[in-house]
Amino acid sequence: MASKTGDKQLATELTSLLEDSFPGISIEVDEHHPRWQRRCLVFRWEGFNELLPEERFHRLLQVIPEEYRTKKLIGAVWLELGPKETLEEFLQSPRSEDVADAEPDLYRKLIKGNVFGTLDVSMGSSPEGTCTGDFSKTLGILRGNSFSREQIRDARLVFIRHGAYCDCQVLTTAQPALARLHAGAA
């Protein structure tokens, strides 16, 4: 079992790795969390408030080098929380697998609202080149199509379920996967 000094050192290293991309992030390391009986990393950042749990984790993965993760973070539980968010609130948040049953109906609504077509035009001829690394354009289009707050959340979860974490991936990854799966549903 690592020492409190080791926990502090790991938290300091992680903060150094993340602070440019996540200004103001705080990290706690609990070497033996009673709930999971193993190391637990708690990442707290204001920017997580607007992100779904899987988006939070994905954003961290983009910044923490794989070699570092496999060497120092293997087997740890990661908790990405907003500053005032409780563990229970985080654990009760929906995940992408929770929308599987609703996916065909949601896909029909996305098609009916021409969400993919509008996003395609909005992104231009080079979606990867104009992408901001988030769902900002997709969210604007969903709001413009009168999607409810819950429907917008569920659409994001469907996109994540099919490997999309940003606008360009909605077009290049999620849309083709959804079209193959639900070809007869639209």
Q: pLDDT tens digit string along 58-89?
A: 999 999 999 999 999 999 999 999 999 999 99
3-class DSSP state of 32: strand
- CB atoms under 10 Å from CB of 169, counted, come to 21
- The mean per-residue pLDDT over the stretch 145-170 comes to 96
Band (1; pLDDT cuts 50, 70, 90): very low
Band (24; pLDDT cuts 50, 70, 90): very high
Query: For the segment 93-126, what is each residue's pLDDT rounded down to a tens digit?
Result: 999 999 999 999 999 999 999 999 999 999 988 8
**Which runs of E-coded beta strand occur in 18-172?**
26-33, 38-44, 77-81
| pLDDT on residue 171 | 95
Q: Which CATH code, of 3.40.50.1220, 3.30.70.1450, 3.30.300.90, 3.40.50.720, is assigned to 4-92?
A: 3.30.300.90
Query: For the segment 34-48, what is each residue's pLDDT rounded down to a tens digit?
Result: 889 999 999 999 999
pTM: 0.89
Structure tokens at 67: 């070699």
